[in-house]
Amino acid sequence: MASSLGTTERAHSGRRSERFALGFVLTVAPGALWIILFLLAPSILVIAMAFLSNGDYGSPHLPMTLDAFRRVLGFSVLGWSNGNLKTLWRSLVQSATAAVATILVAYPLAFFIVSRRSYLRPLLLLMVILPSWTNQVIRTYAWMELLAPDTSLSHLAQESGLIAPHMGLFPSDFAIFLGLIYNYLPYMVLPLYAAVEKLDWTIVEVGRDLYASGYRLFWHTVFPQTLPGLLAGIILVAIPAFGDFVVPQLLGGNKFLMLGNLIANQFTSTPDWPYGAALALVMLCFTFAGLFVFRRVARRLGRGEGQIL
């Protein structure tokens, strides 16, 4: 009796756990498959490729070597050059300035939109987002037209002595800067708008009640509340801007390369896949390092809300 009862119980629980296992596989499999196919596999490919030698047409070949990384550091048959360091530095500076500039534009914009009547707000948001629905290349070409030599903007810059005569505002670092802000502004405005919209204004009133005004009022009452949106915006802007290659390609005119162009070139015009893969790895490392530092800062700033990132 006792043993047969035990068997039935075991059989029941066995069937239950089988059903559970099936459910588990069905629910987890799509996501896991996606991650394996489109994240892990390509990552492993890129990592492996970075350690291979360069073949005749830029395709990777055995034997394994660290040659690609030596060239990332600037060593080549012609000796050491600081070209890659300069490119890395330009990418870091451009993505940082793009993030700062979009913050400076997005904060007032978010407050402006939130302060409008409720039926106007989605419309105004749409106007911010709408340009990003057209192709980035086309929009960047439009900036080339606007900033080219002998355009009214360039004339204006010449008259004010900002640029030499007969030089356009494009190609230049400044043109890249403008292009990046223009491209990534919506990704700062949207999370910041969401944060400003649910701002607890009583907290702001408490700040005013307790003698804070001006920038101190902003810093102690508005800034901490909008911090999660701000952080999301910075990540959405700074990381893609760091790796952007369309904007520097078109608005930099090959003179002001960023890391993205350098990598893209290794797979297109002058093929060298292992070198390109090594550059991509370096970029990934910098992105993760940046995120790590960012997370530490965010935790310190937003300690009341638990974890922000």
Partner 1 sequence: MNAIPRLAQAIGDGKDFAKPAAEIHDAQHGKVHLQDVSKVFADGTVAVDRVNLEVEPGEFFTLLGPSGCGKTTLLRIIAGFEDLNGGAIFISGRSMLGVPPHARNVNTVFQSYALFPQLNVAENIAFGLRMRGVKTVERRRRCQDMMVSMQIDVFAKRMPHQLSGGQRQRVALARALINEPEVVLLDEPLSALDAKLRQELQVELLRMQKRLGMTFIFVTHDQHEALVMSDRIAVMDKGLVRQMGRVDDVYERPRDVFVAEFLGLSNIFRVQSKQGADVSTSLGMLRLSHTPETLQHVMVRPEKVLLSSLEEKGRGINDFHGLVREVLYMGATSQYGLEIDGYPLVATISNTQNGRTRYRVGERLRVHIEPASIVGMGG
Binding residues (CB under 8 A) for partner 1: these are: 200, 202-203, 205-206, 208-213, 216-217, 220-221, 224-225, 301-305
Question: In the bound complex, what is the minimum distance in angstroms from residue 106's beta carbon to partner 1?
Answer: 21
Question: In the bound complex, what is the minimum distance in angstroms from residue 119's beta carbon to partner 1?
Answer: 16
Question: In the bound complex, what is the minimum distance in angstroms from residue 108's beta carbon to partner 1?
Answer: 21
Measured distance CA(230)–CA(223) in Å, rounded: 9
CA geometry: angle 185, 187, 189, nearest 5 deg: 70
Of 46 and 301, nearer to partner 1 (C-beta) is 301
Question: In the bound complex, what is the minimum distance in angstroms from residue 180's beta carbon to partner 1?
Answer: 31
Of 15 and 299, nearer to partner 1 (C-beta) is 299
Of 16 and 208, nearer to partner 1 (C-beta) is 208
Taken in order 163, 164, 165, 171, is the CA torsion positive or negative?
A: negative
Q: How many residues does the chain have?
A: 309
Measured distance CA(232)–CA(78) in Å, rounded: 43
Residue 103 structure tokens: 């913050």
Question: In the bound complex, what is the minimum distance in angstroms from residue 217's beta carbon to partner 1?
Answer: 8
Of 46 and 309, nearer to partner 1 (C-beta) is 309
Residue listed under structure tokens 């999370």: 191
DSSP labels for 144-203? HHHHSTTSHHHHHHHHTTSS-TT--S-SSHHHHHHHHHHHHHHHHHHHHHHHHHT--HHH
Phi, psi of 53, deg, nearest 5: -90, 165
Is residue 185 within 8 Å of 191, Cβ to Cβ? no
Of 80 and 219, nearer to partner 1 (C-beta) is 219
Of 89 and 219, nearer to partner 1 (C-beta) is 219
CA distances from 84 to 68, 111, 175 (A): 13, 40, 21
Question: In the bound complex, what is the minimum distance in angstroms from residue 206's beta carbon to partner 1?
Answer: 5
Question: In the bound complex, what is the minimum distance in angstroms from residue 229's beta carbon to partner 1?
Answer: 15
Of 114 and 246, nearer to partner 1 (C-beta) is 114
Residue listed under structure tokens 């034997």: 63
